[in-house]
Amino acid sequence: MEWEVVIGLEIHAQLATKSKIFSGASTAYGADANTQACAIDLGLPGVLPAFNEEALRMAVKFGLAIDAEIGLKSVFDRKNYFYPDSPKGYQTTQLHHPIVGIGHIDIELEDGSSKRINVTRAHLEEDAGKSVHEGFNGMSGIDLNRAGTPLIEIVSEPEMRNAKEAAAYFRKMHSIVTYLGICDGDLSQGSMRCDCNVSLRPKGQEEFGTRTEIKNVNSFRNVERAIDAEIARQMDILEDGGKIIQETRLYDADKNETRAMRSKEVANDYRYFPCPDLLPVIIDDNYVEAVRATLPELPDAKRARFAHAHGLSAIDAAVLAANRELAHYFETAAKIANDYKLAANWVQGDVSATLNRLEISIGELAVSAEQLGRILQLIKDNTLNNGGAKEVFNALVEGKGDGSAESVDKLVDSLGLKQVSDSGAIEAIVAEVLAANPKLVEGYLATPEDKRAKAIGPFIGLVRKAAKGVNPQVVMDVLQKKLSEL
Amino acid sequence: MHNKTIAEISRDLAAGEYSSVEITENLLSRIKQTDNRYNSFITVSEEQALAQAKAADARRAAGNADAWTGVPMAHKDIFCTNGVLTTCGSKMLSNFVAPYDATIVENFNNAGAVSLGKLNMDEFAMGSSNESSFFGAVKNPWDTDRVPGGSSGGSAAAVAAQLVPGATASDTGGSIRQPAAFCGLTGLKPTYGRVSRWGMIAYASSLDQAGTITRTAEDSAMMLNVMAGFDAKDSTCVDREVPDYTATLNNSIEGLTIGLPKEYFRSDLSAEMQQQVRNAIAEYEKMGAKVKEISLPNTHLAIPAYYIIAPAECSANLSRMDGVRFGYRCENPQDINDLYKRSRGEGFGIEVKRRIMVGAYALSAGFYDAYYKKAQQVRRLIKNDFVNAFNEVDIIMGPTTPTPAFKCGEKTADPVDMYLEDIFTIALNLAGLPGMSISCGQVNNLPVGLQLIGNYFDEGRLLNAAHKFQQSTDWHLKTPDLKNQADI
């Protein structure tokens, strides 16, 4: 039978507020256990929540970025369940009246086309703490530093049809929230986590199949792999005439398989009800418009501008616009050089290769955008040839330079990379090379006219070896002239 | 000096009649000698009280004293007190020392008041007789075979037994007004949002309100002056100017329109109770007030709605008492579920468990609309009844309770019978209105309470009306015959 895959994602993104959603404690990552949990975060008797308006502003910003309806009245609810890292015995979240309603984003597919994925809703809620199971002699430790960190949970419609689309959606959401500056996007620290709902149905059938939910997948690659593994598992069962059990599963990246976590057959009853300690959050159109005025250029708009106004290929534009920092780096260098295409080639080429090789992010690269811009300027005015430019770039990567554009010029000087374009100087070098290699000259002269273009190659190599930084075009011209005079 | 009111003590301290340390020592020794009869205190914080009294006397000597400097009082054990045990009347919190002060505790500390300790209460404020406390029942000083009312029974008994001149209390369905009525005292439950809930251990968040139990309306006004005000730590607290509540106590009540809800003078209310209340109304008429019969047609729905909403909220509010981070934890838990089940099973008393279960049931999937949502709709109807009534009248009056103080153990076997105790008081909490109870007579030598209900944030008018009554009658001055009780 032919199967259709149905995927919906729930993404939790931690908002980059300084303090927690309902308390004044810091949200900074990595502090000693329970040092960033105040009485409110600990859920002590008698404490009350006070809503952090910065979290509201960020959530509205997100809603506007995905062209969503903004909830002018949103209501916090209590979701009741007992778990040691949930200190109050309930999570404060938004059930019926979320801050962000129906919206959408477009994802780019491998064939270059794009697909619209609708977002059902995004709501504000508080993160839980962490249970630590090792190092306590068989007992568990609780770290409540993370408890109360603001989250938005972004719920997609079940509109993705394969794992690649799901990964593209996750990437796009990552790109949007980091562009907005509302989430640091650090997947390794859990700043963004993804739950994947996966089901299969016979192609053409309207009714959804039974779904499973893969919890807490925390990388783009694992989203794709986990979903593919789950699709394969479900297909095996269905092909054998079996039934899928609705349940929560975990992805084991080492074994590349999903496994059951807990059964959802008997659905948990969370006994939601409106939180009586918090007033409904009421905002008006003026508030929304004031937030809209703070929106930065978003990835889609930037991509379109790169392609249309600056002539980049669709793929280059997409890759360069996807990451806010990379896009900023690229565009800074491109503006200095006044050449977007040249800058795109470099950022996609040497810069990306260096980032991959060193496993660093663009922010950690020793070559500043200003320095790259200066290198590109020097290429354009023929001061540097391509080889020289790479040498300067690599020297900067190794830390030779102080971040300033001037240090590029100093390096060009100290490394003797300035390209020689003066034909007089080059004529002298060519003359030397020809005099020193009579056999090569003989061979050249014996070569038929129509094959001489290729035979000139070794001379070019020798000239460039004899003098670094000579302009190859001038060398070619002088060589051709000198050899034809022989 | 133990029979003095807050206002009198304040004046005496200012006049140098005695020092704060002297009256504090006097009351502390009185508590030691007599409170074994009433069990009104859970914790007596002697050391802290004396330190505060000394500081107050020093402040006075330095010429920086004001109305509250050095005046003794005590807090219901529902309010968190930094460094002092805060139990909420429960085994669950029998070892809980709060690391912070409730806003109102901080307010009294800043005003220079001396806190003598923490007062007994029904467990987590759930009860109308103060028999559900883990620290034992509280006895009514008017008759120690009778209950003092609840849940603020410790606050009422301590004031009636003249162990403190005034006490903080809290009221979710009548927990200030009913014990005040049973003990012949003045109880004030302010408008929801008038006083911060920060640090008051939550029973039902949308109904809970901190207030006072004192002997006079003047003292209530002095206490409310300290307690009322905006607090950013409580999102439901209202940012609204706080008047000086003592300034309007003596205003004339000529022309005041009093509404008498016909539903509050039901046929099953005893003739004696009716008579006491009617006598009080007649007194008001003598002072120039006008009386008008009104109707609050949804009164009969108040108790059913309350017993959905309050348990629903408490079922979530009490989830944090899980034995993980503070409070009671069972011995040798086998795993996390065992820890939860036994800590909560052993830590909570029967009434608390009953309400948690009712609340969890009312909120569960499939029942939410039929119970919780419906109760919220009823709540709106009840509120509308009052809004309509206050279009016609300035103040509403009626009995605080159906009967005077009942016998210990009389209603413990039948929770519904106990719940009906709050028939006249509960509607106010659902509506969020302010209310008072003042002593207005006696039946069988037991005090009878007159309930005064005001419009939103109209505490000034309530206190004014109560004070005027107390100026022209002496019911509030009547005290139990403490001397006749054995071993005092």
What CATH code is carried by the domain that includes residue A435? Answer: 1.10.10
Residues A245 and A331 in one domain: no
Which pLDDT score, from 0 to 100, does residue B487 have? Answer: 46
Distance from CA of B357 to the nearest CA of A (A): 12
pLDDT at B34 over 90: yes
pLDDT number for residue A262: 64
Domains contained in chain A, number: 3
Minimum CA–CA partner of A38 in chain B: B99
- In a mutational test of the A interface, the residue from B325, B336, B430 whose CB has the highest number of chain A CBs within 10 Å is B325
Measure Cα distances from A442 to A430, A446, A475 in Å. 16, 6, 20
User: Nearest-CA distance from A45 to chain B in Å?
Assistant: 5
> What residues in A contact B318, CB-CB < 8 Å?
89
Do A444 and A369 have their domain in common?
no
Cβ neighbours of A133 in B, within 8 Å? none
| A317 and A371 belong to one structural domain | yes
The answer to whether residue A16 sits within a structural domain is yes
DSSP letter at B475? G
Q: Which of A289, A324, A354 is the last residue of a domain?
A: A289
Lowest mean pLDDT among A238-242, A295-299, A413-417: A413-417
Nearest CA in chain A to B334: A139
The domains found in chain B, sorted by start residue, are: 1-488 (3.90.1300.10)
CA distance B239 to A181: 33
A87 closest CB neighbour out of B232, B313, B320: B320
Higher pLDDT, A313 or A416: A313
More confident residue, A472 or A363: A363
pLDDT band at B485 (very low <50, low <70, confident <90, very high): low
Of A84, A90, A278, nearest to B319 by CB-CB distance is A90
pLDDT at A481: 82
| Active site (annotated) includes residue B76 | yes
CA count, 13 A, side-chain hemisphere, B245: 28
Residue-level pLDDT at A265: 45
Nearest CA in chain B to A274: B313
Q: Which residues pair with A141 in a beta bridge?
A: A132
Query: Which of B96, B324, B356 to mutate: most A Cβ within 10 Å?
Result: B324
Question: Which H/E stretch holds residue A320?
Answer: helix A314-322
Spell out which residues of chain A touch residue B204, defining contact as CB-CB under 8 Å: 276
Handedness of CA B306, B311, B312, B317 (dihedral sign): positive
**Which three-class secondary structure state does DSSP give residue A373?**
helix
Residue A300 and residue A431: Cα distance in Å, rounded? 56
The DSSP H or E segment spanning B278 is helix B271-286
Closest residue in chain B to residue A281, using alpha carbons only:
B235
Contact (CB<8Å) B320/A50: no
**Any catalytic annotation for residue B151?**
yes
Rg of chain B over all Cα atoms, to the nearest angstrom: 21
Please tell me the predicted confidence (pLDDT) of residue B47: 97
- Taking the C-alpha atoms of residue A430 and residue A483, their distance in angstroms, rounded to an integer, is 10
Given CB atoms, is A138 within the 8 Å cutoff of chain B?
no
Interface mutation target, options B363, B369, B374, B430, chain A, most CBs of A under 10 Å: B363
Catalytic choice (B10, B19, B45, B175): B175
Q: What is the dihedral of CA B107, B108, B109, B113, to 10 degrees?
A: 160
Q: Which of A366, A394, A414 is the last residue of a domain?
A: A414
Nearest residue to A128 (alpha-carbon basis) of A184, A190, A220 = A190
Residues A469 and B352: their CA atoms lie apart, in Å, by: 87
Note whether A52 and A85 are same-domain residues: yes
Catalytic residue among B151, B152, B315, B437: B151
The whole domain housing A349 covers 299-414
Cβ-Cβ contacts under 8 Å, B100 against chain A: 39, 44, 46
Residue A318 lies in a domain: yes
Q: What is the pLDDT of residue A428?
A: 82
Contacts of A34 in chain B (CB under 8 A): none
Same domain, A112 and A246: yes
Do A272 and A389 lie in one domain? The reply is no
Q: What is the pLDDT of residue A476?
A: 82
Which among B232, B318, B363 has CB closest to A50?
Answer: B232
| Distance separating the N- and C-terminal Cα atoms of chain B | 16
User: Does residue A7 register a pLDDT over 70?
Assistant: yes
A218 and A86 together in one domain: yes
Residues of B in contact with A279 (CB under 8 A): 235-236
Predicted local distance difference test score (pLDDT) of residue B79: 98
Torsion angle in degrees (nearest 10) through CA of B221, B225, B229, B231: -120
Residue B298: count other Cβ atoms within 10 Å of its Cβ: 20
Q: pLDDT band at residue B486, thresholds of 50, 70 and 90?
A: very low
Instruction: Provide the phi-psi class of B199: left if phi over 0, else alpha when psi is between -120 and 50, else beta.
Output: left
Q: Can you tell me the mean pLDDT for B235-253?
A: 98
Cβ of B363 and A272 within 8 Å? Answer: yes
Q: Do B235 and A279 touch (CB under 8 A)?
A: yes
B 11-70 near A (Cβ less than 8 A): none
Alpha-carbon distance A265 to nearest alpha carbon in chain B (angstroms): 15
Distance from CA of A199 to the nearest CA of B (A): 25
Cβ within 8 Å of B, A 49-68: 49-51
Task: State how far the Cα of B459 lies from the Cα of B476, in Å rounded to an integer.
Answer: 19
Q: What is the pLDDT of residue B96?
A: 98
Instruction: Name the token pair of A158.
Output: 């079940």
Q: Does A273 touch chain B (CB under 8 A)?
A: yes
Whether A297 and chain B come into contact, CB under 8 Å, resolves to no
Does A461 lie in the same domain as A352? no
Whether B200 sits inside 8 A of A82 (CB atoms) is: no
Which candidate from B98, B202, B316 shows the least CB-CB separation from A89? B316
Please compute the mean of the pLDDT values over residues B134-139 and round it to a whole number.
98
Q: Which pLDDT does position A252 carry in this prediction?
A: 95
**pLDDT, tens digit, 9 for 90 and up, residues B166-222:** 999 999 999 999 999 999 999 999 999 999 999 999 999 999 999 999 999 999 999
d(CA B330, CA B88): 19
pLDDT bracket for residue B148 (50, 70, 90): very high
**Phi-psi category of residue B450: left, alpha or beta, with phi > 0 → left and psi -120 to 50 → alpha:** beta
CB contact under 8 A, A276 and B100: no
- Averaged pLDDT, A162-180: 97
CB B148 within 8 A of CB B179: yes
**What pLDDT is recorded for position B412?**
87
Q: Which residues of B are less than 8 Å from A82 in CB distance?
A: 319, 322, 340
- CB contact under 8 Å between A43 and B320, yes or no, is yes
- A446 and A333 share one domain: no
Interior angle at CA B471, CA B400 and CA B469, nearest 5: 30
pLDDT at residue B341 greater than cutoff 90: yes
- CB-CB contact of B357 with B255 (8 Å): no
Q: Which two tokens stand for residue B218?
A: 């003047």
User: Average pLDDT of A38-64?
Assistant: 98
Q: Is A294 part of a structural domain of the chain? A: no
Q: Are A8 and A160 in contact (CB under 8 A)?
A: yes
Give the model's confidence band at B484: pLDDT under 50 very low, under 70 low, under 90 confident, else very high.
Answer: low
Residue of A nearest to B326 (CA): A44
**Pairwise pLDDT comparison (A229 vs A386), residue with the higher score:** A229
Nearest CA in chain A to B206: A276
Cβ(A303)–Cβ(A317) below 8 Å: yes
Instruction: Name the nearest CA neighbour of B360 among A55, A28, A90.
Output: A90
Band of pLDDT at residue A264, cut at 50, 70 and 90:
very low
Residue A210 lies in a domain: yes
Both A318 and A244 in one domain: the answer is: no
Q: Which of residues A231, A265, A289 is at a domain's end? A: A289
DSSP 3-state of B210:
strand
| Residues of chain A positioned with their CB less than 8 A from the CB of B88 | 45
Q: Which residues of A touch B200 (CB under 8 A)?
A: 46
CB contact under 8 A, B80 and A276: no
Residue B175 is a catalytic residue: yes
- Tell me what ipTM this predicted complex has: 0.96
User: What does the pLDDT read at residue B30?
Assistant: 96
Interface membership of B368 toward A (CB under 8 Å): yes
A260 and A387 in a common domain:
no
With CB atoms and an 8 Å threshold, state whether A46 touches B235: no
Confidence at A458, pLDDT banded by 50, 70, 90 = confident
Domain annotation covers residue A133: yes
Q: Do A276 and B236 touch (CB under 8 A)?
A: yes
**C-alpha distances out from residue B154 to A210, B189, B205, B252, B282, Å:** 58, 16, 22, 34, 32
How many CB pairs below 8 A link A and B?
107
Question: Which one is catalytic: B4, B45, B76, B411?
Answer: B76
At residue B109, the pLDDT reads 98
Answer yes or no: do A380 and A250 share one domain. Answer: no
* B37-69: pLDDT as tens digits: 999 999 999 999 999 999 999 999 999 999 999
CB contact under 8 A, B326 and A277: no
Quote the Cα angle for A105-A111-A114, to 5°.
Answer: 20
C-alpha–C-alpha distance, residues A336 and B325, integer Å: 58
Question: Does the beta-carbon distance from A271 to B360 stay under 8 Å?
Answer: yes
The fraction of chain B above a pLDDT of 90, given in percent, is 94
A350 located within any domain: yes
Task: Give the residue-averaged pLDDT of A144-169.
Answer: 97
